[in-house]
Each structure stands twice: as structure tokens, then as C-alpha cells.
Amino acid sequence: MKHMRPILVLLAALCAGPLSAQQADPALVAAGKAVAVAGDCAACHTNPEGKGDFAGGYGVDSPLGTIYGANITPSPQGIGDWSFDQFDTAMRKGRAPDLHFLYPAMPYTAYAGMAESDMKALYSYLQLGVDPSDNVPPHTDLGFPFSFRAIMAGWNLLFLNGDVVAGANAEAGSAARGEYLVKTLAHCSTCHTPRNALMGEESDSFLGGGAVGEWIAPNITAGPDGIGDWSRDDIARFLATGRNAHGVAGGEMGTAVERSFSKMPRSDLDAIAAYLVSVPAVAGNGPVRGARDPASIPDIEPPLSGLNDYIDTTDMSGARLYQAACATCHGWDGMGSVDGAHPALVGNTAVALDDPGNLVMTILNGAQLTLDPDASLMPAFGDQFTDAEVAKLASYVRTGFGAKALAPVTQAQVWNIRNGVVQTGWLLANAKALTIAGLGLGALILIAGLAVLIRRRRRIR
């Protein structure tokens, strides 16, 4: 195997490195690999078009500039010189050995709760199980005031809870093990818990739903606004394949499923499911329920007085656009395929969220997860529709298959989503002026906001 060679080499040269014999135990390295998968390290530290696993350089656009994942391979350009204690400090406190502060794009507030055994395993894996790379990722420069990383110290004081979460070694598949995974490695709350005014997670709304760029990270608590109607098997299947009867994983969740959840042992997915069904219900941020307003068949066939125009599309209703582009797979009635191959839109979370981001993003980019080679994917429609057409289509899908009460989607909203314009708000837009005016607190709030804003990928040409 690819990763065995460095292990053997390093086992022979143990005394030369910072590792103890115990840390070089192949079983520990293997366990560390599993931790790295569960922690989804590769999502930010491996550039799919780049120079090898964990070699960094993956650029994530943020409204403030591009942030590049670091090289975390065992090379001098990576973390090859780091001791375990230095690694542990970076993972739990967000501070690198040269004392610089990490941007909270790195979810150290979640990793702070990791068990020491997992931390040691991860360290062993990154030092011994990964090919060293001398790649030097591009420098991340967000400009003043965000280049002044020390402002993170204040924020850390407020929101960094260093307590270790129990359950790392609880019974396989148990809710206790699930709680540990959810709160630490899987860092679910990073996206799924709403943020307070200081951009810290609201502890009393744990997993009650948040936002990631254009995407909404829905409420995943066990109530009517969350995933209370999902069975444990539904949850585990969603994590394993990115889809179930209720919806499809898109955006960052799709990436997380692809690179992390789908590679975790089934017992850990069962554990997460067992825990999630016990999370106290939080209200809000869930799909809107209520009466729907689907079109009848005569509505979606051409109007009685109309002659079909073979080129012009300006007069087409949302219902007819849906019929032309979507009904093949999702059914003219939004009920999906009879054998479950394609999801129903009725009851689908993305369709019924108040914020249309997930629906519009899915129309534009498709649902491209192909974990199961026999499963279908949804092609991208970004090149096939104008913004006005997407707006009409999305509006129809929301009211026809979600709930009548949902607001129509506007062409401007589609344009913003297509072009990656996030509603960053007044504070962020005026950060530099505020900071110069001495409102340092504003800056640290804003920089913390990067934790949620930067995880946004552009897939639209």
C-alpha cells in the first residue's frame, strides 16, 4: 500500500524524528487515518488538482480573499518538525508553533474536544502514514484588519471551550460514540448551529441550522423543524451515500459525504444517527410545511390558445419549465421515481427551506455525488437556463412541491447565488473603517465569521 512504505522507513529511523516508538505503531497510524477521515482533513488540506494528499494549496474563496489550506505532510514545509505538543496546541487552541493564530476556517473549536488517544493517532498518521511533500501553498493574505491574526486571541477567550468530549471509546454504534463524533471530529455544529452576534455558536440552539455561503445547513435536531421524521437508517444512509428519501447532500455536505462520511465505518454512521435522534428539538430554520399548490396536467401542457414557440422561451411558466427540464426524473407531480432512483421533491428539505439557496444551487450545479456507480446524478442546469428561468422554475418548485406559503424566488436572488454574492452584511463590508475607528471587537467578530463564510466553493463557470 502507498502509505506503508514511509511507515517502514520511519520505523527503521525512529530515533531521528520527534516520534516515540509507541507513536510509530502501525495500528496507531491506521487508527489515525480513520480519525483523519472522520475529521475530513482532506477537504481543506488536499488540493484535488494539486501536489498530493494533505500537501495544501486548496484555495477557498471568501469575500475577503482566498484562503489556502496548509501543507500538513511530514515535511519541513508542512508539520514534519512539529512535536506532538505543538500539534496538539494547533488542533485544540488554534495556535501554530510560531505562535501565529489560525483562522477559524480550521474548526479547532470542535477538535478541542477530541480524545487524547485520537489526537495521538492522528499525529502518528500525519507524521508516518502520509507522503511528505515540499509544496508551499500560496500565502493567504486577507488584508488589514484581517491580516492581523492576533485579534483571534480575544475571540478564542470567548468561544473556545477546551473540554474533552466523552465517548471516544464508547461502544460501537452507541449514541455516546455518536455524540463524540458529532461534537468533535465531524464538527457538525460548525455549519449546523446558528451563530450569535459575535459569531460564536449559540449553545442553546445546538444543531438548529446555520448557513454556509449560498447554502443553508438545515436544522438537524430531532424535532418537526429538523429531521424528526428521519429514521436512524435514513440518517445513516444519507451519510453513507449522500441521499435518502428526504433529500440529497449538496455543496459542502456533499463534499463531506464524499470524502469523509462515506469512508467511515458503518458503526460510526449508526452512532451518529443514534445520537442525532436524541438531540433536543430546536425550533426554526427547518423546511416550511403547509398546503402545496402543484399544477394540474392541463396547466403544464401548453395553454389552449397557445401555439408552442419552438425557440422563444420568455413566456414559459415555471410549471412548464419544470415539465421540460425536471419532470423526467422527479415526476410531473414531484413524487420522484417509482423505484426510488430519483428523489421526490414533495417532502424534500432543500425545496421547502425558507432560504432558496440550496434549491437554486442544486438547479445550477446539479447533484454530482457519484459514490455509488450505479446511482444517478443530477446534471447541472446552470448553462441551460437564464437567471429569470431559474427564478420561475425555483418559485414553482417551492410553491408546488414545498409549501404554498414560500416566497417566490427573484431573478436578482438567482444572480447573486450564481455569482457567489453572499449577504455579508454591514459589519463585514465596513470592517476596515470600523477597525481604523478602533472598534477592534468588530474585526474579531468578523474574522470569526470566516468560519462560516469561506467554506463556499464556486462550481459555476
Numbered residues of the known binding site for heme c:
41, 44-45, 188, 191-192, 326, 329-330
Q: Which residues contact 141 (CB under 8 A, 6 or more apart)?
A: 65, 147
Q: Which residues contact 291 (CB under 8 A, 6 or more apart)?
A: 403, 404, 405
Q: Considering only 185-193, 205-213, 276-284, 312-320, which stretch makes contact with other proteins by CB under 8 A?
A: 312-320
Q: Which residues contact 47 (CB under 8 A, 6 or more apart)?
A: 55, 56, 57, 58, 59, 69
Per CB under 8 A, does 353 bind other proteins? no
CB of 332 to other proteins, least distance (A): 6
Per CB under 8 A, does 313 bind other proteins? yes
Q: Considering only 66-74, 150-158, 169-177, 362-370, which stretch makes contact with other proteins by CB under 8 A?
A: 362-370
132 is written with which cell numbers?
Answer: 511528505
When the beta carbons of 30 and 327 are compared against other proteins, the nearer one is 327
267-to-34, 173, 435 alpha-carbon distances in Å? 13, 5, 48
Among 160, 327, 388, 405, which residue interacts with other proteins (rule: CB under 8 A)? 327
199-to-36, 136, 174, 186, 220 alpha-carbon distances in Å? 26, 31, 32, 20, 20
Give the rounded distance of the alpha carbon of 147 from its chain centre: 25
Sites for other proteins among residues 212-251 (CB under 8 A): none
When the beta carbons of 98 and 339 are compared against other proteins, the nearer one is 339
Residue 121 half-sphere exposure, CB side, CA atoms within 13 Å?
21
Angle at 410 between CA 408 and CA 411, to 5 degrees: 145
CB of 321 to other proteins, least distance (A): 7
Among 374, 423, 426, 438, which residue interacts with other proteins (rule: CB under 8 A)? 374
Among 337, 416, 424, 430, which residue interacts with other proteins (rule: CB under 8 A)? 337
Sites for other proteins among residues 282-311 (CB under 8 A): 296-298, 300-302, 304-305, 307-308, 310-311
Per CB under 8 A, does 331 bind other proteins? yes
Per CB under 8 A, does 380 bind other proteins? yes
Sites for other proteins among residues 158-217 (CB under 8 A): none
Rounded Cα distance between 337 and 332, Å, is 10
- The full length of the chain comes to 461
Q: Tell me the site size for other proteins, rule CB under 8 A.
A: 47
Residues that bind other proteins (CB under 8 A): 296-298, 300-302, 304-305, 307-308, 310-313, 316, 320-321, 323-325, 327-329, 331-332, 337-342, 366, 368, 370, 373-381, 383-385, 461
